[in-house]
Amino acid sequence: MAWVVLVVSGVLEAVWAVALGRSEGFSRLVPSLVFAGGLALSMAGLAYAMRTLPVGTSYAVWVGIGAALTVAHGMATGEEAVSLVKVLLILGLIGCVVGLKLAH
């Protein structure tokens, strides 16, 4: 169960990161509220997962999922340039996250 919660928390990390960018310095209400809710749920899930999973592994997986999804979202929406190198590096990051799960 801890792994499922950790993956969902990683997804929520991407949600709050994107919302933070769209909040324009917390001057827009809805993105600011999404940021706050996403951050709270993401941190709570990470804390829950760390009760049974090692801290280093949990944090690396959480950050890896959040970073990969945030960059992928930026590429999908055109806010970030797409390149073969970026795509390959993101796939490598995802591979490392999967590897940490398999090595656990």
Domain boundaries, the chain: 2-103
| pTM assigned to the model | 0.91
- pLDDT (tens digit, 9 = 90+) per residue, 43-79? 999 999 999 999 999 999 999 999 999 999 999 999 9
Q: Is residue 17 within 8 Å of 66, Cβ to Cβ? A: yes
Mean pLDDT of the chain: 96
For 11-30, how does the pLDDT look when each residue is reduced to its tens digit (9 = 90+)? 999 999 999 999 999 999 99
- pLDDT (tens digit per residue) in 30-40: 999 999 999 99
Reply yes or no on whether the pLDDT at 7 is more than 90.
yes
- Element spanning 15, H or E: helix 2-22
